[in-house]
Amino acid sequence: MVITDKELWTVIHGMLLGAIFFMAFSGIWVTLFSLHPERTAGVVQRVRGLKIAGWATAIILWLTVFTGTYIVYPWYRAKPPEGADLTQFPRSYLLASPDRAGWHNFGMEWKEHVAWLAPILVTAVAYIISRYGVKLVEEEKIRKAVILVFTIALIAALAAVVFGAFLNKAAPIK
């Protein structure tokens, strides 16, 4: 059983950090919905957990986009030397065939950009949760705004993760 450095980083970037994000997301989402003026029991503990989970999620997302962009992506877009085996150069391999080119032209082009919106949005959400704490229970407009922005962040992250998985199937980084 052998795993290369490149494969290991791809797993850390896509599966480990991505999986932690989605687990944290569901917890944060449910807790945000539970912050209701009629449900005040245990609110201090719930908000304390929300603050930790919010910042942890933001940090995970920043780590995901930085490892993806500055460690994994250079391997993906490396230019092959003359006569090289293109399967070792994912971007060139995909673009070499019209049947595969869409994975780069649509999938990778979307993934590499849209992923960066998620940490920006989740950092704003984490800050608001920290700043307002239990006041979020009374601040209905802010609470609903946070839920919507957090959901948009999930959609952005989901697009990146789904295309990342497909791309790693179509042209794995080895």
Partner 1 sequence: MQQNNGPTNGPAAAALLAAGIGSLALGLFVILAEASKSVNNALNFYNPVGPLSGKTTLAIVIWILSWMMLHGLWKNKQVSFAGVFTVSVILIILGLLGTFPPFFDLFAG
Summarize as ranges the residues that interact with partner 1 (CB under 8 A).
Answer: 65, 69-70, 73-74, 77-78, 105-106, 109-110, 112-114, 116-117, 120-121, 123-124, 127-128, 131-132, 135, 139, 141-142, 145-146, 148-149, 152, 156
Q: CB 157 → partner 1: shortest distance, Å? A: 12
Q: CB 46 → partner 1: shortest distance, Å? A: 19
Nearer to partner 1, 84 or 148 (CB): 148
Q: CB 160 → partner 1: shortest distance, Å? A: 10
Instruction: Please tell me what DSSP assigns to residue 36.
Output: B
Three-class SS of residue 80?
coil
Three-class SS of residue 165?
helix
Question: Do residues 124 and 149 make contact, with C-beta atoms less than 8 angstroms apart?
Answer: yes
Nearer to partner 1, 17 or 156 (CB): 156
Nearer to partner 1, 1 or 98 (CB): 98
Q: CB 52 → partner 1: shortest distance, Å? A: 18
Neighbouring-strand partners of residue 39: 36
- How far apart CA 139 and CA 167 sit, in angstroms, is 42
**Burial 137-170, CB ≥16 within 10 A → b, else e:** beeeeebeebeebbeebbebbbbbbebbeebbeb
Nearer to partner 1, 59 or 120 (CB): 120
Phi and psi (nearest 5°) for 36?
A: -135, 140
Nearer to partner 1, 53 or 159 (CB): 159
- How far apart CA 59 and CA 54 sit, in angstroms, is 9
Q: CB 136 → partner 1: shortest distance, Å? A: 9
